[in-house]
Structure 1
């Protein structure tokens, strides 16, 4: 992507990367934490899941705040809160204080995806949206890739407490850059007039004919469209596997595959790194596909989503992987598929959403849908391990959900998100309304 708007992609990539570094920090340190606090698999499952409880609870209110007060202000508050909570996790002296720190972290992290969607809608021309969304989402996989190696070494050398302090400190560096350099394209001084005009003239294209700006419908009206529900359910079927890997993969490698802490970090990192590259490649491919197949408002990006979810369903083969190399290959394909599905699903939301004023709230709803499934994944897995003594059925459940998600994407996301009552109305003047 040419010109200075590429810096927006860098901001978004690093935002997602830091977000997921902080999330996976607990998984990397799971073994010493479980030993210190005498936690069972079920207890760890609840602890792994805990940050998603507050994350999902705050998503829709945060989405509304972002639509009202802007991405810069609300995004900055969010990363301040979650970075501080991550650092303070290292001071936890009981299960209750661990749980409290994770809940506060989850509340802060609820800004990430709505901020990303809002920034992409404001800054990125519609024909580049799939690529930039893929860059943003690939940060979610770069974070674990880096963190799996670096934090594993830190946990082994200086202990799990300092690993959280260091992980939390990285967020404060990003926050400083965000406040110094970020703004809307209409406002920033570091953008040329020509590029500013390009962005403002071509950033709409969100499911409305001719790219004409329309008034925000509000969440209540959007909920009457099957497309929004289809996007949320697709996200849920996908995110279940994402959180299964994010929370339990290091423990699986250490307990069932008998790898050391350092080696499990490396084996975890490789699939996440592969997912970064493949996610961006598939996002670019989806943009190319749409420019030759009816444009973004056609909704044809759903076909690429279904393909990515079918690829990810190879997680069904994990119990049959006879070697570490085979396991890494299967894990790489699975993570690449779910990474691509997330970024493409977010892009499809922007493709089919007529009003830029609805982006924060619509994205929040879709992410809530995803995280209701994601919330269940660590807990269900804990009970499955306790009941069966292995991880096999945990992987089977995830694979079945991915296949179901592909079907939902193909059948429920076929129309722009226009409530029936206004489908026949002419384009409206832009006037923000509350949900």
Structure 2
């Protein structure tokens, strides 16, 4: 096999799949948990968003740790923490104990996307960065698809506690293979010398890396208008993503009157379809971009297109047919998934080297988490006050349109120590 970096794609996909299987478990089991502990919509909104609080607080810390100590052991530590916390949720005895396990889970899960972004920047040629980022982010949609079905059946057959124990235990298998096989491309034993040389030559678009050590601090990045554009777009896209992730099963059970298993099925189907469609968008972004366009932010056009696709969620209140609803959710989820993935690829395109990739991706996902924290809580209040999900869908759609404009206008220049420098001619070339 000439392209043995395919195993890195498998690691990236499975990393975020397990991460999101753990996240969606509470969404699927929300109704029986609410019944057992007497939890109302507003309390459930806080519980559904609670892991994002520690997730948000931990992202940059994990990013800095990754740049200092590398992805192998830092990412392994994150996986161990959030898997054990998910298992512990199955032993919770009241609202406060579930809240505590979710907070620990969020802190551990914050390692995954900064680690994934750094692995992509270290391992992938610039011409593969879009599809690699789409693969990483696809796990965040395959995870809910798998988890919605797995947890739904586990809850139906054995009770909600067993569901958390099953999904939490899956991280141990991943952890074994990660520690056994993963190394940086300079050290990996499973690739040949030709492939190693190709990766090292092409991961910076054919140009040499500027430095072995990071050249940009977090403060340097925050002086860049491109970084702020990336953060805002990531936040607006994440709002829609977490609206679906945390409230879609409850919406299907309460508004569409589906039982737990059927709501699991109709949650899983749009997620599964969106994985394939988002991978196609990622592949298209790689094929349509030149190396020069990558370095100058050309991928922003695909981000903007994907954000507009996310805005299809605006029509949800007007859809009655269940299969048409599946189509709407599939398109909106595809847009959100592709936008967030292309943003991860875009910050990799704009950074000067892989040495900053951990902190840069950590900062990017922090922008996403800032709005992800708001979505479950805001939706809980909207549902409680209006007894309807309609306004929740409108909010997500409007933010998606705004995100498309921000991506087009603000993410145009490479990220350098000196902010505000004019970007090179041809920066607008590409899709």
TM-score class, shorter-chain normalisation, is: over 0.9
Preserved contact between residue 241 and residue 333 of structure 2 (Cα < 8 Å): yes
2:426 aligned partner: none
Preserved contact between residue 204 and residue 213 of structure 1 (Cα < 8 Å): no
Q: Equivalent residues in 2 for 1:13-412 (5 A)?
A: 13-205=13-205, 210-214=207-211, 215-291=214-290, 294-412=292-410
**1:146 to partner: Cα distance:** 1.0
Separation (CA, whole Å) in 1 of partners of 2:140 and 2:420: 37
1:430 aligned partner: none
SS at match of 2:4: coil
**1:72-128, Cα deviation, whole Å (9 max, x unpaired):** 110000000000000010000011100000000000001000000111111111111
Separation (CA, whole Å) in 1 of partners of 2:410 and 2:133: 21
Preserved contact between residue 201 and residue 207 of structure 2 (Cα < 8 Å): no
**1:298 to partner: Cα distance:** 2.6
SS at match of 2:84: helix
Decide whether aligned partners of structure 1 residues 350 and 421 sit closer, same or farther in structure 2, where only a CA change above 3 A counts.
closer
RMSD over aligned Cα atoms = 1.5
Separation (CA, whole Å) in 2 of partners of 1:189 and 1:289: 32
Decide whether aligned partners of structure 1 residues 179 and 210 sit closer, same or farther in structure 2, where only a CA change above 3 A counts.
closer
Preserved contact between residue 60 and residue 365 of structure 1 (Cα < 8 Å): yes
* Deviation larger for 182-191 or 106-115: 182-191
Decide whether aligned partners of structure 1 residues 315 and 176 sit closer, same or farther in structure 2, where only a CA change above 3 A counts.
same
Separation (CA, whole Å) in 2 of partners of 1:405 and 1:110: 23
Separation (CA, whole Å) in 1 of partners of 2:114 and 2:401: 26
**1:220-270, Cα deviation, whole Å (9 max, x unpaired):** 111100111110000000000100000000000000110111111111111
SS at match of 2:305: helix
Preserved contact between residue 217 and residue 355 of structure 1 (Cα < 8 Å): no
* Structure 2: unaligned runs, 5 residues or longer: 423-431
SS at match of 1:189: coil
**1:38-92, Cα deviation, whole Å (9 max, x unpaired):** 0000000000000000000010111000000000110000000000000010000
**1:423 to partner: Cα distance:** 5.9
Separation (CA, whole Å) in 1 of partners of 2:303 and 2:42: 33
Preserved contact between residue 224 and residue 420 of structure 2 (Cα < 8 Å): no
Preserved contact between residue 295 and residue 414 of structure 2 (Cα < 8 Å): yes
Separation (CA, whole Å) in 1 of partners of 2:145 and 2:251: 17
TM-score (norm 1): 0.94
Decide whether aligned partners of structure 1 residues 2 and 390 sit closer, same or farther in structure 2, where only a CA change above 3 A counts.
farther
TM-score (norm 2): 0.95
Separation (CA, whole Å) in 2 of partners of 1:358 and 1:332: 34
**Structure 1 stretches of 4+ moved >2 Å:** 209-212, 419-424
Decide whether aligned partners of structure 1 residues 327 and 273 sit closer, same or farther in structure 2, where only a CA change above 3 A counts.
same
**1:169 to partner: Cα distance:** 0.4
**1:398-427, Cα deviation, whole Å (9 max, x unpaired):** 000000000000001010011327969xxx
Matched residues, number: 420
Preserved contact between residue 296 and residue 351 of structure 1 (Cα < 8 Å): yes
Separation (CA, whole Å) in 1 of partners of 2:412 and 2:133: 20
Aligned mate of 1:417, from 415, 418, 421: 415
* Structure 1: unaligned runs, 5 residues or longer: 425-435
* Deviation larger for 135-144 or 209-218: 209-218
Separation (CA, whole Å) in 1 of partners of 2:419 and 2:314: 43
2:5 aligned partner: 5
Preserved contact between residue 307 and residue 403 of structure 2 (Cα < 8 Å): yes
Decide whether aligned partners of structure 1 residues 370 and 421 sit closer, same or farther in structure 2, where only a CA change above 3 A counts.
closer
**1:141 to partner: Cα distance:** 0.5
